[in-house]
Structure 1
């Protein structure tokens, strides 16, 4: 058996949803230095 045989479709979907929600929360509430146009964590178009 390999490592990937135990991963279900539901687990993959939930992981993608969790990452997407975390990114949206970071873009909304993190300081502009972290997630702004020249941010060190996420480079994005964030309006102040």
Structure 2
């Protein structure tokens, strides 16, 4: 069996939803140096 044969559509959707929620949480609560315009993790358009 292939590695990808066991992955379902629902699992892919849940993974995308989880990544989206994690990104929103990081943008909301992480320090500006981490996720700001010059951030090292996410380069977001965030202003203090």
Give the TM-score normalised by the residue count of structure 2.
0.97
Alignment length, in residue pairs? Answer: 48
- Structure 2's unaligned 5+ residue stretches are none
**Is 2:30 the counterpart of 1:35?**
no
- Structure 1's unaligned 5+ residue stretches are none
Give the TM-score normalised by the residue count of structure 1.
0.97
Superposition misfits of 4+ residues, deviation over 2 angstroms: none
**Is 2:8 the counterpart of 1:19?**
no
